[in-house]
Chains A and B, each alone.
Chain A
Amino acid sequence: MMTAATIAPVAEQPLMEDQLFIPELARIVKIEPIAALEKVFTLELPRGRSLEHRPGQFVEVSVFGVGEAPISISSSPSRSNGNFELCVRRVGDVTSALHNLKPGDRVGIRGPFGRGFPIESFRGKDILFAPGGLGLAPARSLINQVLDERALFGRVIILYGARTPAELLFKDELQQWAERSDVELLLSVDRGDETWTGNVGVITTLFRHISVYPRNTVAITVGPPVMYRFVLMELFGKGISEGNIYLSLERRMKCGVGKCGHCQINNIYACQSGPVFSYREIKGLEEAL
């Protein structure tokens, strides 16, 4: 078994030397509310610089005077057009301040940080996505990358759950995925409403509707800590191995480079060795989930 100590931190990112805490000023190109608490921000870096991120990485976003928060990148590198997107839930000081900004305003950006999904190793495999709630935001970056390179992968199965129909994110894209013959999309909500005709129940109730070939399946699950334990049980129940299950762990990173201590999980820093981990890498880490 791979032990925690052998998880290699991500290779160095091209940061300006010693300018770790000085953000770049990105311009807000577009703000699109997509649910009661979530808006999608399209951002443009100065001098036409491309973010050059991998799906699963995050940036530190600054609203000067309020602070900085780590936010996962929601757009796919394959669709960057020089811009990138962040799906931000209004939940704290920085995210609330972000929600009050207008197109044309500037925010600080540092990053991208962390280790994203090892997408190259997913090629040829069936991919089972199981994001919950806001977990679709980082998962969408990978989903769209996979869809843009669709021929390189086997089946694409997406199980997505939210608390209510109104809280389902990226509904336009959900619709597009639902219409594609090469994507198997199943949705669920914890509580339906008068318009909802789909599955009602937590995300784990969707697993009984699918079958997978476990030896050729990679599972990606992103969601709140409480969700992981239950989703993992379902994935093991399908016979998918620990090394083929990937999760993204949320922590409140203050620096992004393994120094501030906030994201430490036992002996590893989520910002450097993660936030994306295979389950095999973290299963021995008591503080991970």
Chain B
Amino acid sequence: MSLNTIQKQAFSGFVEQLMPHYRVVGPVVSNGGYAFEEISNPAELRLDYPTTILPPKKYLLPPQEVLFRFDRSNGAEITPPPQPRPTVIFGVHTCDVHAIQLLDHVFSNGHSEGNYLDRRSRSLIVSIECLSPCDEHSFCKSMGTLTADEGYDLHLTDLGDAYAVDVGTDAGEELLKNYASVSQGQPEDMQRLNAVLSEKWPRFPYRLNFDVSELPSLLEMSMKSPLWEELGQRCLSCASCTNVCPTCFCFDVRDEVELDLRRGQRVRAWDSCQLDEFATVAGGHNFRKSRALRQRHRFLRKGKYILDAHKHLGCVGCGRCARACLVDITPVGVFNELYRQQEIGGRT
């Protein structure tokens, strides 16, 4: 596969060509920061954004979605939801590309789940290479997500006045062929690409004090760490961490009824293992009653359980949970402290 480039001045033309055929979403300026939103004008796209509060996951697994509609007046008639709109998601960072690969596995492995997969199959991902860390909370380099070899349809790297474009899938290739004006990369483009990539690497710090391959066993050995109790004392059980996480996929299923009490819809909504009632059963027994146990569950999922079940780590190092936490509970802080405790023989 050879290198393609799109001149930046031609890039808005590419986006504009897509807009009649696709819902186009990407990072835009929003409330003093950045957010993934649907755009109506290519100029809104800000591909040089640092990070967003919510990841692009929301287009694949929305905060709330209709699973089906029902009408009780008609012998409980059930209507599936409409087909999702074809969507192109621009500006996905490589951490989020890794997160989406995990979600793909979760919803296609075992029982495939059509609501997610329908949306996913109608979504194209145009990712972008990060050239500098979004802030002090990101730790993508430690998690191995600073770049991505797959999981995108097209991947962009900013070369200054042009983007290098890697084609990841046939659908990405089609998109370029039908809507973009690309040039065959020249030897000097290749040199610039190499230079950009080699300059970016040292800009990103390693933030874990150990190799990520040790994370699953570290967590397994840390089930009895006193750190969980300490986190439990601080945690407010607000679920901000899981709400902003690109890999969290736990959900609740519930019914909403219209005022006629006849028609309604069954919805799936994001849920959180950090909320008090998450593991409660009828009769009131709660299998993770304390905040300490819920925090432990969260980190064990991120660094071990999800890996065991889905072959991808449940943490991609985006730093969103660290930014969102009101009491400064951060994965880097937690993982490094567990490592310190293990290094001194489990004594603290």
Contacts and interface: CB of A to CB of B under 8 A. Distances in A.
A48 interface: no
Contact of A20 (B114, B254, B271): B114
Interface in B219-274: 223, 249-255, 257, 261, 264, 266, 268, 271, 273
Contacts of B75: 25, 106
Contact of B271 (A15, A257, A260): A260
B49 to A, nearest CB: 30
A234 to B, nearest CB: 21
A5 B300 CA distance: 14
B113 A259 contact: yes
A136 B287 CA distance: 22
Interface string B98-118: 000000001100111111011
A259 B76 contact: no
Interface string A87-121: 00101100100000000001010000000000000
Nearest to B304: A267
A260 B252 contact: yes
A259 B112 CA distance: 10
Tell me the dominant secondary structure on chain B's binding face: mixed
A265 interface: yes
Nearest to A252: B281
Contacts of B76: 25, 64, 106, 108
Interface string B276-297: 0011111101011000010001
Contacts of B111: 12-13, 15, 20, 257-259
Nearest to B293: A287
B278 A262 contact: yes
B276 to A, nearest CB: 13
Given A259-B107, A267-B305, A252 B280 contact: yes
Contacts of B268: 21
Contacts of A17: 112, 114
Contacts of B72: 64-65
B67 interface: yes
Interface in A261-283: 261-262, 264-267, 272
Contact of A261 (B80, B250, B308): B250
Contact of B279 (A18, A95, A262): A262
B245 to A, nearest CB: 12
Contacts of B273: 261, 264
A255 B281 contact: no
A24 to B, nearest CB: 10
A67 B268 CA distance: 11
A254 B255 contact: no
B324 interface: no
Given A18-B113, A20-B115, A260-B251, 8 more contacts: A21-B266, A62-B266, A65-B72, A91-B283, A255-B251, A261-B251, A267-B308, A287-B279
24 contacts: A18-B112, A18-B113, A18-B118, A21-B67, A64-B70, A65-B264, A66-B255, A68-B253, A89-B282, A91-B282, A106-B75, A251-B279, A252-B280, A254-B251, A254-B252, A254-B253, A258-B309, A261-B251, A262-B271, A264-B273, A264-B305, A267-B308, A286-B223, A287-B287
Interface of B: 67-68, 70, 72, 75-76, 78, 80, 106-107, 110-115, 117-118, 223, 249-255, 257, 261, 264, 266, 268, 271, 273, 278-283, 285, 287-288, 293, 297, 300-301, 304-305, 308-309
Interface of A: 5, 9, 12-13, 15, 17-23, 25, 62, 64-69, 89, 91-92, 95, 106, 108, 224-226, 250-252, 254-255, 257-262, 264-267, 272, 286-287
